[in-house]
């Protein structure tokens, strides 16, 4: 029945999310979720919002998410009018493509990066050019010194996990004053430097974040954009022409509570960082080449073993990692950082698999 499709749908190649396994007790290291639960304050805030009979659910949520924006603004030392809230950072990025990145000149982003970027570009008919990472998967901001309709970079990058120094980001923003520079910081809390510190100096900077990773709320779908009020106004104009109530009551309550418990957030991030370094050491000992990471993931390859085959062998043991069938990275695995126990299961399975190869 595709004859009913619009022309744009025929031309789309949709983003493919990571598998959500049906196994009873999988070792799920394929979607970069936090292995630790959110703050207990989050659960309590949801209960309070529901009340005894869920009475609040019959009423629409605050379309401006004011309390949440004020809480997040206080956390970052900025103003609420510098913050836009959306249904996950993916929606925030989608609105950003429409509001700020659709121009006559091409949008620039890396050739190896979050695969939603080209999907959005095709969906919203945004002309784009990809800039190649170097052989070590590093971004060089000087490569973006070319006329453009916007620049979009993740920091740390995905799926590699490599971070950029804040000084490099500032140089990039300062050189592109005629267009918007978007820094996607989905993983920034695991070891990179946030560009939010630059907001008051650059009106062309937009920073995107999420509660999905470091605050363990992937199931609630809450994302943010931080920037000059004029950029935020553009996002709100598109949002209010599409969906004035993107964030439900429970999501607003949960995200607010998560930001209020800073100690829990910092402890969770510290545990993930420690496990990441431990896992990187274990993979290196097994002969993997591991890309330096400041995210809750590792990007690794092994010269002696095919990545797709390794992913399949692990899947047979209910251990799930991510493999991308894409140029330059088809021999790499992206491995989310789990608990130490989950990482140990992965390493033990790899030792068994390698032993079977040798045998």
**pLDDT of 116-152, one tens digit each?**
999 999 999 999 999 999 999 999 999 999 999 999 9
Query: Domain boundaries in the chain?
Result: 22-36+263-358, 40-260
Q: Is pLDDT at 358 greater than 90 in this prediction?
A: no
Distance CA 180, CA 305 (A): 42
String of b and e for 313-330 (b: at least 16 CB within 10 Å)?
A: bbbebebbbbbbeeeebe
Q: What is the pLDDT of residue 7?
A: 85
**Ordered alpha helix ranges (H), 144-228:** 166-175
Which residues are CB-contacts of 36 (< 8 A; sequence separation ≥ 6)?
216, 268, 271, 272, 339
Q: Is pLDDT at 47 greater than 70 in this prediction?
A: yes
| pLDDT confidence band for 323 (50 / 70 / 90) | very high
Query: Tokens standing for 109?
Result: 């982003």
Query: Tokens standing for 119?
Result: 């999907």
DSSP string, 46-57: HHHHHTTT-GGG
Q: Is domain 40-260 given the CATH code 3.40.640.10 in the classification?
A: yes
> Across residues 182-197, what is the average pLDDT?
98
Looking at the chain, the whole-number percentage of residues with pLDDT higher than 70 is 99
| pLDDT confidence band for 357 (50 / 70 / 90) | low
Domain 22-36+263-358: CATH architecture, name and number where available: Alpha-Beta Complex (3.90)
Residue 110, beta-bridge partner list: 131
Q: Give the side-chain half-sphere CA count within 13 A for 208.
A: 28
User: Which three-class secondary structure state does DSSP give residue 131?
Assistant: strand
Distance CA 70, CA 60 (A): 19
| Rg value, the chain, Cα | 21
Q: What is the pLDDT of residue 359?
A: 43
Query: Tokens standing for 290?
Result: 């591991």
Distance CA 113, CA 40 (A): 34
Q: What is the pLDDT of residue 12?
A: 82
Residue 301, beta-bridge partner list: 289, 332
Please state, as a whole number, how many other Cβ atoms lie within 10 Å of the Cβ of residue 180.
27
pLDDT in tens, 256-265: 999 999 999 9
Identify the burial level of 129 via C-beta atoms within 10 angstroms of its C-beta, where 0-12 means exposed, 13-18 middle and 19 or more buried.
Answer: middle
Q: What is the pLDDT of residue 198?
A: 98
Asked if 224 and 72 count as a contact pair (C-beta separation under 8 A), the reply is yes
Nearest CA to 214 out of 292, 268, 158 is that of 268
Q: What is the pLDDT of residue 14?
A: 82
User: Mean pLDDT score of the chain, rounded to an integer?
Assistant: 95
User: Is the full-model pTM beyond 0.85?
Assistant: yes
Nearest CA to 109 out of 82, 77, 141 is that of 141
Q: Is pLDDT at 24 greater than 70 in this prediction?
A: no
């Amino acid at each position: 029945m595709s004859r009913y499709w619009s022309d744009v749908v025929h031309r789309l190649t949709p983003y493919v999310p990571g598998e959500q396994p049906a196994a009873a007790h999988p070792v799920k290291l394929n979607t970069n979720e936090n292995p630790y639960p959110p703050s207990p304050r989050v659960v309590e805030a949801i209960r309070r919002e529901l009340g005894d009979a869920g009475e609040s659910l019959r009423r629409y949520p605050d379309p401006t998410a004011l309390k949440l924006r004020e809480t997040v603004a206080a956390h970052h030392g900025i103003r609420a009018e510098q913050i836009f809230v959306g249904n996950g950072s993916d929606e925030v990025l989608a609105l950003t493509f429409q509001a700020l990145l659709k121009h006559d000149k091409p949008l620039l982003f890396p050739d190896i990066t979050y695969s939603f970027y080209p999907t959005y570009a095709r969906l919203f008919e945004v002309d784009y050019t990809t800039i190649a990472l170097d052989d070590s998967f590093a971004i060089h901001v000087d490569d973006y010194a070319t006329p453009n309709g916007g620049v979009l970079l993740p920091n740390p990058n995905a799926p590699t996990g490599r971070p950029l120094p804040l000084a490099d980001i500032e140089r990039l923003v300062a050189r592109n004053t005629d267009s918007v520079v978007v820094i996607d910081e989905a993983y920034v809390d695991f070891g990179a430097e946030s560009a939010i510190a630059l907001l008051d100096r650059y009106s062309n900077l937009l920073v995107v974040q999420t509660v999905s990773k470091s605050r363990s709320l992937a199931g609630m779908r809450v994302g943010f954009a931080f920037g000059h009020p004029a950029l935020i106004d553009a996002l709100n104009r598109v949002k209010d022409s599409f969906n004035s109530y993107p964030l439900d009551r429970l999501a607003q309550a949960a995200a607010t509570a998560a930001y209020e418990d800073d100690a829990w957030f910092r402890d969770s991030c510290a545990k993930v960082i420690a496990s990441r370094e431990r896992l990187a050491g274990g993979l290196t000992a097994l002969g993997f080449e591991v890309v330096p990471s400041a995210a809750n993931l590792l990007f690794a390859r092994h010269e002696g073993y095919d990545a797709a085959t390794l992913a399949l062998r692990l899947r047979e043991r209910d251990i799930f990692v991510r493999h991308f069938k894409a140029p330059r990275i088809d021999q790499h695995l992206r491995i989310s950082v789990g608990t130490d126990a989950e990482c140990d299961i992965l390493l033990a399975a790899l030792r068994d698999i390698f032993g079977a190869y040798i045998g």
